[in-house]
């Protein structure tokens, strides 16, 4: 007889039970108080909401051992202190609709969550009270308020964070890492409240001490720059307004830590807004670099949901497309000025004990042909003087230096309408040395600058008519390519024809090129086509039916075309050609960087020169 198969006994049926208030608080603490910086953020937000005009923060071990926040806000009465450490008690919601949220905090979870997992002490006094009151919470155990000494305002001290939740405490990083997160939080909050003086101490060392400031001064302090380097923004679209300050493309960072975004004065790290910023800066900065800015969006409260995450740093917008378009367009217009609007990098150098001279460029040099630029001289050219002739003789003995064939000019004689000034010389047949009206020295990379000018001409011509004027080749040229790249080109032959590149298939792995864009001429045809093929072949989603794919690559293709159509390093320019290049840079959008995001010009001030020679420190 066959034995019946045996099955494991089903487990006993679990029953639903109500969690204790302490366990609920610990669960909430895990959501709200992720690390010391999160607790610090909640405490400082409460101080700002309380109307404080001065906040002092002191941390030990990145906030793990101690967080001390003192403000001069409106304070709390003994009854309010008892409510403040209970979950979901708040003074910041005046109705039950979660729409008209005008404060940074509103959930009523921060203080109970901190008190459930740490030792919390709150000392507070209202303006009309004779004394302050202090309440304590140790791991969820509340000690009723007691009279205490203290000024008007509130002081909150948190010690032994996560002592009641050791599993969370062991996952904390080193004190240095936690300090970095805390500093980032404080900088964002300081930016959101320029009317409030803030002092932050880390292990008894002052991290920063900011007085009450104007928005631009506070932005300059937080971004570690000067107000004159900031580009102001003020864009309005319907009821949505974008304001703030952005640094030019010459100032970038290796990470996104220099991007500060406020929405209705709330610091956020919204991924959609970060993507919009990246798209706006993509044409003007190097790949892998991040711009520096402080942006402020004002959105009607009914078109914004801030109750997405307990940390309140992520949002939902009623119309994401509108916000994205405003950010991209606003930043694009702010960055789309020529060198006349400022920019460039201050070329400061540390003094060296020895000077290493770079090698001289190889001979022979390219012959000079005229640049396709409109010449507008800042001052009238003078006939050649003995001094100029002397400099001409020096150029013959040192081919790395080619002076402009005219008399040197004084800064006060230059037209202030041309901030890049007048050319003085060409160095290594690659860099233009100019004198600005304010006396600063300007150094221009002629290839990078002309590349941007050509790029903008190509972009403008394509945008105005949808096509670029083509120049037919006298003899069509066969270009051999890897099979995949040749196929990528032919898949987009119709789109490339609008760019002035007329192609047809010429066997496996080869194409026949019949025309090129007229702006570029017939130089380096092989290199141009190989670069375009490489750009298109790098997209795995590329096919003839996917028009969006080509649009994604269009600006990069125009940039590569501009690179091949620009004057090269090693080409000697005439004085009028150098000045024409400077004038065109002042008129052309985005002329402060080349198509690859590198700077086109540097500024060397008198003070920087004096530092270089050791005259000042």
* 195 and 52 both lie in a single domain: yes
Q: Is residue 7 part of a domain?
A: no
Q: Is residue 79 part of a domain?
A: yes
Q: Is there a cis peptide before residue 364, judged by omega within 30 degrees of 0? A: yes
Distance CA 309, CA 311 (A): 5
User: What pLDDT sits at residue 131?
Assistant: 94
3-state secondary structure 459-505: HHHHHHHCCCCEEEEEEEEEEECCHHHHHHHHHCHHHHHHCCCEEEE
Residue 457 belongs to what H/E stretch?
helix 446-465
Among 111, 107, 55, residue whose Cα is nearest residue 80:
111
* 204 and 219 both lie in a single domain: no
Higher-scoring residue by pLDDT: 426, 519 = 426
Among 90, 143, 84, 92, residue whose Cα is nearest residue 114:
84
Q: Which residue has the tokens 């906030």?
A: 63
Burial 453-480 (b: 16+ CB within 10 A, else e): bbbbbbbebbeeeeebebbeeeeeeebe
Q: Is residue 447 part of a domain?
A: no
Q: Is residue 355 part of a domain?
A: no
Q: Which residue has the tokens 């006060």?
A: 412
Per-residue pLDDT averaged across 146-150, rounded?
Answer: 94
Given 313, 335, 357, which residue is the final one in a domain? Answer: 335
Given 274, 301, 335, which residue is the final one in a domain? Answer: 335
Contacts 24+ apart (CB under 8 A), 488-496: 488/533, 488/536, 488/537, 488/539, 488/542, 489/529, 489/532, 489/533, 489/536, 491/536, 491/542, 491/543, 491/544, 492/536, 492/542, 492/544, 492/550, 495/547, 495/550, 496/532
What count of Cα atoms within 13 Å lies in the side-chain half-sphere of residue 528?
Answer: 24
* 202 and 127 both lie in a single domain: yes
* 100 and 158 both lie in a single domain: yes
pLDDT-based confidence at 158, cuts 50/70/90? Answer: very high
* 27 and 143 both lie in a single domain: yes
Angle in degrees, 0-180, between the axes of helices 21-32 and 110-117, rounded to the nearest 10: 110
Domain total of the chain: 3
Q: Which pLDDT tens digit goes with each residue over 235-291?
A: 999 899 999 999 888 788 888 889 999 998 888 888 889 989 988 888 788 778 889
Per-residue pLDDT averaged across 419-424, rounded?
Answer: 89
* 325 and 205 both lie in a single domain: no
Given 299, 320, 335, which residue is the final one in a domain? Answer: 335
Residue 161 belongs to what H/E stretch?
none
* 168 and 263 both lie in a single domain: no
* 273 and 165 both lie in a single domain: no
Residue 156 belongs to what H/E stretch?
strand 153-159
528: domain CATH number is 3.30.1370.100
Distance CA 551, CA 54 (A): 51
Q: Is residue 543 part of a domain?
A: yes
Give the least confident one: 232-236, 312-316, 579-583. Answer: 312-316
Question: Do the Cβ atoms of 369 and 450 come closer than 8 Å?
Answer: no
* Ramachandran assignment for 288, one of left (phi > 0), alpha (psi -120 to 50 degrees), beta (any other): left
Angle in degrees, 0-180, between the axes of helices 446-465 and 575-587, rounded to the nearest 10: 50
DSSP summary character for residue 440: -
* 184 and 255 both lie in a single domain: no
Distance CA 436, CA 574 (A): 19
pLDDT-based confidence at 78, cuts 50/70/90? Answer: very high
Give the least confident one: 218-222, 345-349, 480-484. Answer: 345-349
Rounded to a whole number of angstroms, the CA Rg of the chain reads 32
Q: Is residue 48 part of a domain?
A: yes
* 268 and 152 both lie in a single domain: no
pLDDT-based confidence at 369, cuts 50/70/90? Answer: very low
* 187 and 42 both lie in a single domain: yes
Q: Which pLDDT tens digit goes with each residue over 285-325?
A: 877 888 999 999 999 888 887 766 666 667 788 888 899 99
* 143 and 66 both lie in a single domain: yes
Per DSSP, helices labelled H in 87-245 are 110-117, 166-169, 175-192, 215-223
Domain that holds residue 152: 21-210
Among 275, 312, 318, 280, residue whose Cα is nearest residue 299:
318
pLDDT at 560 over 70: yes
Q: Is residue 64 part of a domain?
A: yes
Per-residue pLDDT averaged across 21-47, rounded?
Answer: 77
Considering the chain, what is the average pLDDT of its residues? 79
User: What pLDDT sits at residue 253?
Assistant: 86
279: domain CATH number is 3.30.230.10
pLDDT-based confidence at 545, cuts 50/70/90? Answer: very low
Q: Is residue 437 part of a domain?
A: no
User: What pLDDT sits at residue 95?
Assistant: 52
Structure-derived torsion over alpha carbons of residues 246, 248, 251, 252, reported in degrees to the nearest 10:
70
């Amino acid at each position: 007889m066959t034995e019946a198969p045996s099955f494991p006994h089903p487990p006993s049926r679990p029953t639903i039970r109500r969690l204790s208030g302490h366990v609920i608080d610990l669960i909430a603490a895990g959501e709200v108080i992720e690390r010391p910086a999160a607790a610090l953020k909640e405490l400082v937000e409460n101080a700002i909401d309380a109307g404080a005009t001065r906040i002092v923060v002191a941390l030990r071990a990145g906030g793990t051992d101690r967080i001390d926040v003192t403000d001069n806000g409106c304070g709390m009465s003994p009854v309010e202190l008892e409510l403040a450490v209970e979950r979901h008690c708040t003074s910041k919601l005046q109705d039950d609709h979660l729409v008209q949220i005008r404060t940074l905090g509103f959930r009523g979870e921060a203080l109970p969550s901190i008190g459930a997992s740490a030792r919390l002490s709150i000392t507070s006094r209202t303006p009309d009270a004779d004394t302050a009151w202090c309440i304590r919470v140790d791991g969820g155990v509340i000690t009723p308020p007691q009279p205490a000494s203290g000024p008007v305002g509130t002081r909150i001290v948190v010690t032994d964070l996560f002592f009641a939740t050791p599993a969370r405490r062991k996952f904390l990083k080193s004190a240095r890492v936690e300090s970095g997160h805390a500093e980032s939080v404080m900088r964002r909050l300081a930016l959101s409240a320029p009317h409030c003086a803030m002092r932050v101490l880390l292990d008894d060392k002052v991290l920063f001490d900011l007085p009450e400031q104007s928005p631009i001064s506070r932005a300059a302090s937080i971004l570690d720059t000067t107000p004159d380097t900031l580009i102001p923004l003020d864009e309005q679209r319907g009821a949505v307004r974008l304001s703030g300050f952005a640094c030019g493309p010459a100032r970038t960072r290796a990470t996104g830590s220099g991007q500060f975004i406020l929405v209705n004065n709330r610091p956020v790290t919204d991924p959609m807004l970060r993507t919009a910023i990246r798209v706006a800066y993509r044409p003007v900065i190097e790949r892998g670099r991040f711009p520096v800015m402080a942006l402020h969006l004002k959105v009607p409260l009914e078109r914004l949901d801030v109750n997405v995450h307990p940390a309140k740093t992520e949002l939902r917008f009623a119309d994401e497309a509108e916000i994205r378009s405003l950010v991209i367009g606003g930043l694009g217009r702010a960055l789309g000025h020529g060198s006349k609007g400022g920019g460039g990098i201050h070329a400061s150098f540390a003094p060296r004990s020895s000077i290493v001279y770079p090698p001289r460029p190889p001979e022979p040099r390219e012959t000079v042909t005229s640049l396709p630029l409109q010449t507008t001289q800042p001052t009238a050219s003078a006939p050649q003087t003995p001094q100029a002739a002397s400099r001409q003789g020096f150029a013959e003995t040192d081919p790395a230096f080619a002076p402009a064939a005219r008399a040197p000019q004084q800064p006060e004689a230059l037209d202030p309408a041309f901030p890049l000034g007048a050319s003085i010389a060409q160095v290594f047949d690659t860099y233009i040395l100019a004198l600005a009206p304010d006396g600063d020295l300007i150094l221009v990379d002629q290839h990078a600058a002309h590349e941007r000018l050509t790029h903008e001409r190509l972009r403008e011509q394509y945008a105005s008519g949808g096509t670029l004027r083509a120049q037919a080749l006298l003899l069509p040229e066969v270009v051999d390519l890897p099979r995949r790249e040749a196929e990528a080109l032919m898949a987009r032959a119709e789109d490339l024809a609008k760019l002035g590149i007329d192609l047809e298939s010429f066997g496996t792995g080869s194409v026949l090129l019949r025309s090129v864009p007229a702006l570029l001429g017939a130089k380096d045809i092989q290199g141009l086509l190989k670069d375009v093929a490489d750009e298109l072949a790098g997209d795995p989603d590329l096919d003839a039916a996917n028009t969006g794919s080509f649009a994604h690559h269009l600006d990069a293709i125009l940039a590569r075309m501009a690179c091949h159509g620009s004057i090269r390093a090693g080409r000697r320019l005439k004085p009028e050609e150098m000045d024409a290049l400077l004038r065109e840079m002042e008129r052309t959008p985005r002329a402060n960087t080349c198509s690859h995001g590198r700077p086109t010009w540097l500024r060397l001030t008198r003070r920087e020169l004096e530092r270089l020679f050791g005259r000042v420190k």
